[in-house]
Amino acid sequence: MCVAATSSTQGLINLVQRRIPNHVNSFTFSLTDTNSTDKNGYIRQNDSYEVSSASNGTILIEGTSLSALATGLRRYLTEVAHVDIYWFVGSRLHTAPSHLPKLEMSLRGSSAVPWRYHFNTVTFSYTTAFWQWEDWELELDWAALHGVNLAIAWVGYEQSLRTAFKSIGMADDDILPFFSGPAFQAWNRFGNIQGSWGGSDLPLRWIEDQFSMQKKIVARMVELGITPALPAFPGFVPANITNAKPDVNVTRGSDWGGFPEQYSEVTFLDPLDPVFSELQKNIIQAQIEAFGNITNVYTLDQFNEITPASNDTGYLKKVSYSTWQGLKAANPAAIWLMQGWLFLQSTFWTNDRISAYLGGVENNNDMLILDLYSESVPLWQQTKSYYGKPWIWCQLHDFGGAMSLYGQIMNVTVNSTQALAQSDSLVGFGSTMEGQEGNEIMYDLMLDQAWSTEPLDAQSYFSNWTASRYSSGNAPVAPELFTAWDKLRLTAYNNTNSSTDCTPKAIYELRPSIEGLTDLAGHFPNPTTVNYDPSEMVDVWNLMIQAAKGNVSLWDHPAFQYDVVDVTRQVMANAFIDYYKDFVAAYKNGEDNLYSKRGEPLLQLLTDLDHVLSQNAAFDLSTWLSNAHRWSDNSSAAFYEYDALNQVTLWGPDGEISDYASKSWGGLVSSYYRERWSIFVQYVSETSYGSYNDTKIKSSIESFELKWQTKPFSPSPPSGEPTLERAIQRAQKNWPSVFNVKSGS
């Protein structure tokens, strides 16, 4: 298999310079090469490393690859120096001791699998759509240190596609209207949607700027030992391709998500048509010219939630065979990386059809499949390990960027290692979250599990993770924090209910109704089941607050700040369920003064929650919007803002996938969710039970939603609380029964 094309350790030295500048001379990296092959001659690059104290006083890290070296570096930093790097908290590596501890015994590790994979195609819309370079720098450093050595790299694809379309005679007027806005590009790339409902076409400046960003991203990936999987051409084209190629063989795609015809039914170019191979070659060549010959792995998905034009197995085999041949013509060493999600999402994909489609790639090692949802709905067993194709066991975990505390520890540790023992063609472990929104420990666990053939011990793992997360100088970590995270391990992160198999969301994020909001299971559209006793989460919260009472400096610690907001959010989200149920029950029972007795508390809970969320940038809508605005000029600002707001609310021009990407963000809770609930509470309070009209209230709420999308967003006024500590004290004071279920204080 292809690996990142560099053997220099300078990239890791640069990482240390960025993150631990005081220790840039404290580490020595040494590459060894001990690749082995299996019985078929297939290179299986299971990595290994050793960390020791060198005679000159430096920390010597030896490994078989850059990824092994980076993993060894992180292991030393987390287990010995007790510092780590995080998504939202950022890098804490700079807080390592000024005198790094020497090792009495070497640290050794060997990977269980050759590939450690990260990203989902849709993450590039749900999470990274508006990222700046500093965001990517953090992400790539995080990935390298967590052992990731394979990741898709979608940024800037539209420029490669545009160049290829122009090479066959298409004009920008034909091309640009085909592209979707940044927050929806993933589904345009999948062929689910086309165009933009943001009032204008995707700006050309965006396309060019993103391509420039991609040059930096892939160069950094290679420097850190991460193989970029670059996008190849799947076959989706503007309908007016026939203006340039009148005889081209195209078919109209199926509808998707209930979207209007103008935004769906994307045109598909037959892979048997010579123009398909021409475009494929031009796209790959354009990327080689721009980035260098840095990879042989190409991500390509043709039927993601799309029904193929024919159910004939011969047709399906011809499609994949022609696609494969087109890839090989463009790059003889090409490996086709495909998400296996399509086989899960449609009754169309019987085993015969799956076998036929995969069988079109006649050389098994020319394809690599992501078993996208292995922790909950593994497909590898049903398909006999994808009929011999190499595949990666993946944790999806999160749909649409849902934010509740949630995980399936047993599945991630036990099921993955069982699969490794049972499937000869399993070659990797990976994270394929839709949105990268919290629950970071579950992704750390997944990627660290890739370095053990036996299930990791979750209790010790959580304890070590806690020690690194809250480490601060020589001060010991408060015992209450260890207890809090152990409770989370046993509750929120220990779901074993197979019917509730992904991250749920808070019911206040959903369009209000008197029924159908609670205990929803399944990943679509809006799971809401709480899989543990909510009082346990209150205990976690109280433990964190108690830790801060014993060490007030915790209120200034970035990790504690993030975690206490996250747990406060979860406690209040769980409490909202009970307040909602009481409101509905009181309504049905004809209780007097419903608005003041039951409705106002419901709304006030959201107000106080918003104040807490707004204290941390990771939980604030303004962060998402400010990143979008940083890409805009005066002519495009409204386009980007609408695009960003629409994704996290209506998800479509008329709410086609409404609330799927909802977020518990300050500003969004107060200006959108609370306002919808206010409309609902007011209506219900003024309407007798027998006269309730669901259509009427839905219409009123929809009218508000559509208007909200198009007016300039104004952040919520300051809460009057100058600090996070004060905001949480205010919430506790206003809601003693919510936060003190057991303690009574």
- CA angle at 66 for the pair 64 and 70, rounded to the nearest 5°: 105
**Strand, helix or coil at 635?**
coil
Q: Are 435 and 401 in contact (CB under 8 A)?
A: yes
pLDDT digits (tens, 9 = 90+) for 148-207: 999 999 999 999 999 999 999 999 999 999 999 999 999 999 999 999 998 899 999 999
- The owner of tokens 């003190």 is 740
Cβ density class 182-220: b for 16+ within 10 Å, e for less:
bbbbbbbbbbbbbbbbbeebbbeebbeebbebbeebbbb
CB under 8 Å to 108, separation ≥6 — which residues? 48, 49, 50, 51
CB under 8 Å to 529, separation ≥6 — which residues? 497, 499, 500, 504, 518, 519, 520, 521
Q: Regarding beta strands 48-53 and 59-63, do their DSSP bridges make them parallel or antiparallel, or are they unpaired?
A: antiparallel
**φ, ψ (nearest 5 deg) of residue 40:** -95, 5
The per-residue pLDDT for 475 is: 81
Q: Which two tokens stand for residue 432?
A: 């394929």
Distance of alpha carbon 307 from alpha carbon 525, whole angstroms: 20
CB under 8 Å to 474, separation ≥6 — which residues? none
CATH of domain 115-465: 3.20.20.80
The one-character DSSP state at 673 is I
Q: Which two tokens stand for residue 594?
A: 């419903």
* The three-state (H, E, C) secondary structure of 470-537, written as one string: CCECCECCCHHHHHHHHHHHHCCCECCCCCCCCCCCCHHHCCCCCCCCCCCCCCCCCCCCCCCCHHHH
In angstroms, what CA-CA distances link 452 with 432, 467, 494? 20, 21, 20
Distance of alpha carbon 391 from alpha carbon 373, whole angstroms: 12
Q: Is the pLDDT of residue 730 over 50?
A: yes
Distance of alpha carbon 360 from alpha carbon 337, whole angstroms: 14
Continuous segment of H or E residues that includes residue 263? none
Residues in the chain: 745
The per-residue pLDDT for 3 is: 44
pLDDT digits (tens, 9 = 90+) for 28-54: 999 997 554 443 344 557 999 999 999
**Percentage of the chain exceeding pLDDT 70:** 96
| Predicted TM-score (pTM) of this structure | 0.96
pLDDT digits (tens, 9 = 90+) for 70-80: 999 999 999 99
Distance of alpha carbon 523 from alpha carbon 503, whole angstroms: 8
Q: Are 603 and 512 in contact (CB under 8 A)?
A: no
The one-character DSSP state at 240 is G
Calculated CA dihedral for residues 577, 583, 586, 588, nearest 10 degrees: -90
The per-residue pLDDT for 497 is: 86
Domain residue limits, the chain: 115-465, 479-739
Average pLDDT over residues 485-507: 94
Average pLDDT, the chain: 94
The one-character DSSP state at 194 is -
Q: Which long-range contacts (CB under 8 A, 24 or more apart) does 686-692 make?
A: 688/590, 689/587, 689/588, 689/590, 692/514
Q: Are 379 and 343 in contact (CB under 8 A)?
A: yes
CB under 8 Å to 595, separation ≥6 — which residues? 681, 682, 685
pLDDT band at 690 (very low <50, low <70, confident <90, very high): confident
Distance of alpha carbon 304 from alpha carbon 643, whole angstroms: 22
pLDDT band at 541 (very low <50, low <70, confident <90, very high): very high
pLDDT band at 743 (very low <50, low <70, confident <90, very high): very low
Q: Are 683 and 700 in contact (CB under 8 A)?
A: yes
* The three-state (H, E, C) secondary structure of 544-571, written as one string: HHHHHHHCHHHHHCHHHHHHHHHHHHHH
Superfamily for domain range 479-739: N-acetyl-b-d-glucoasminidase (1.20.120.670)
The per-residue pLDDT for 679 is: 98
Report the amino acid identity of residue 447: L
Identify any residues that bridge with 237 across adjacent strands, giving them in sequence order. 267
Distance of alpha carbon 427 from alpha carbon 391, whole angstroms: 6
**Percentage of the chain exceeding pLDDT 90:** 91
